[in-house]
């Protein structure tokens, strides 16, 4: 009986993790191309000004895209967004 209980608990945990990953994938799929670019640079440690320079846009525009990324991904903080990117195995942007 203990083995069966343990197997059920493991199965529930695995299903919960898969549901979380699916929610992250859905959020990431809702991002525009530019929002994905901004996300990749932000989670790689670039500052808003650096992201703007890299993408050829203003810092204000970057802040707007970053805010949309945070809302769509349902991230409460930059640290949350970085963890989400890691769970999705997203590549980091190279530092120059």
Residue 42 CB-half CA count within 13 A: 28
The pTM score is 0.81
List the structure tokens of 78.
């930059």
pLDDT at 74 over 80: yes
In degrees and rounded to multiples of 5, residue 46 shows phi and psi of: -75, 145
The whole-angstrom separation of Cα 57 and Cα 66 is 13
Burial status of residue 16 (CB atoms within 10 A of its CB: 0-12, 13-18, 19 or more): exposed
pLDDT computed for residue 91 by the predictor: 85
The whole-angstrom separation of Cα 40 and Cα 57 is 15
Tallying the residues shown for the chain, one arrives at 96
Confidence of residue 15 (pLDDT cuts 50, 70, 90): confident
Q: What is the mean pLDDT of residues 36-56?
A: 96
pLDDT at 52 over 70: yes
E strand or H helix at 41, and its extent?
Answer: helix 33-43
């Amino acid at each position: 009986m203990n083995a069966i209980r343990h197997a059920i608990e493991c199965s529930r945990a695995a299903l919960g993790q898969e549901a979380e990953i699916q929610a992250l994938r859905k959020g990431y799929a809702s991002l525009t191309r530019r929002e994905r670019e901004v996300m990749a640079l932000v989670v790689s440690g670039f500052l808003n000004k650096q992201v703007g320079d890299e993408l050829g846009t203003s810092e204000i525009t970057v802040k707007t895209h970053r805010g949309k990324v945070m809302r769509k991904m349902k991230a409460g903080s930059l640290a949350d967004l970085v963890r989400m990117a890691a769970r999705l195995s997203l590549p980091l942007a190279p530092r120059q």
